[in-house]
A = this chain, B = another copy of it.
Amino acid sequence: MRAVVLSIGRELARGLWLDTHSRDIARALSALGIDVVRHVTLDDDTASIADALRRAADEADVIIASGGLGPTQDDCTRSALAEALGEELVENAEAMAHLERFAKARGQAVSRANRVQALLPKSARVLPNPVGTAVGIEAVIAGARLFCVPGVPVEMRTMLDEQVLPQLAESAGGRTMVVRTVRTFGLFESVVGEKLSDLMTPGRRPHVGTAVHSGVIDIHIYASGLRKEAEALVAADAATVRDRLGTAVFGEGHTGLEDAAAALLAERHATVAVAESCTGGLVAAKLVNVPGMSDHFVEGVVAYANASKVRTLGVDEALIARHGAVSEAVARAMAEGVRARAAADVALGVTGIAGPGGGTPDKPVGTVWMAVADSAGTDAARRLFMGDRAQIRQRAAYAALNMLRLRLMEAHRR
């Protein structure tokens, strides 16, 4: 089965807003083994939407269109569909009943503006929308099945999950696309490429590819086919990837470095504390975003000013004077200081120069010292990160979480 995805809206076409619906819909269709040949982001223009619908019907079995179903003059998906079908728009009783229910729930009558939302091409059917006023539309255009859903994210998502995907899954006949993502941190992409070169040969099944962001390298493995066979192929590759990349692998799918560290904290029944300077609370914020962290995260200190490092973390003023605030000695003292204050099992200290100012030839912008302390002692490492202020802070936070993760793994083995 082949599919074309359409996303409708002037702001989207002109690049004022980022179109994420096309990605979400394409991914969901791919998971059903449906071949998404392209997605198209279109202006709110009746003629060009009608044209896009006709072209999509020429080459695809399924078309999903989002957007343009609202009540304003900008919304022209309904009239474009009528044009593409060569039909007139007529008031649909089911759609009208839906609008009336929604208006009634608010104690109002259906407004003149809203009434246009009940106009559908004659041969089209209503696709129920449990979460908004705009009904979706189901139609057949030149033999292709078309589903139109609203552009409002929660409505799109609900109708896709509850109406569109179940209908398509039924007709996909057991074929599917299986995707697994193995996540790593701390390797160069070229090293990953070398270690996995035989798996990454073009045309090989499963297909193996890499994507890099903020020091995280994701290895995507995907195969389409009958579920069981595709799953076995992908599982075999995932095992090979894990084996070859070792402790650099921190998880799969949507697992973040903070999730991996949090899981280890839970396994060890360990508590953690964090002292941050340049990352300014990012490490704590990432950890605290993991549900259930109240059992493990005790305290974080954002010791941005030197006075705060001395007062709250107990860093020796003389140490700062001698080595500078961005130094191995201070990173160690921060980790040890916050560990003592919070009486935590393990603690991180991070201090660095995020820029744009503050760099020196010795310690250029991007220099970060980080330390991890537990009952076995304290380790420290110096890193140099590239990018702007936000990127340097992001990468430093990831590197610190990875340091915590590796320390907790070692502690397991002790």
Contacts and interface: CB of A to CB of B under 8 A. Distances in A.
A52 B74 contact: no
A413 B393 CA distance: 35
Interface in A383-406: 389-390, 393
A3 to B, nearest CB: 10
Contacts of A100: none
A374 to B, nearest CB: 18
A372 interface: no
A381 interface: no
Q: Which of A222, A293, A302 has the most CB of B within 10 A?
A: A302
Contact of A13 (B17, B38, B287, B393): B38
A197 B190 CA distance: 55
Contacts of A341: 311-312
Q: Chain copies in the assembly? A: 2
Interface stretch (A157-165, A228-236, A276-284): A276-284
Interface string A204-231: 0000010100000000101000000000
Interface stretch (A25-33, A89-97, A241-249, A314-322): A25-33
B11 A19 contact: no
A171 interface: no
A22 B15 contact: yes
A268 interface: no
Contacts of A52: 38
Choose among A14, A19, A289 the residue with the greatest number of B CB atoms under 10 Å from its CB: A14
A218 to B, nearest CB: 10
B23 A22 contact: no
Contacts of A43: 36-38
5 contacts: A15-B24, A19-B19, A37-B45, A289-B389, A297-B304
- Which are the 6 A-B pairs with shortest beta-carbon distances? A280-B288, A281-B281, A15-B26, A300-B302, A15-B27, A281-B284
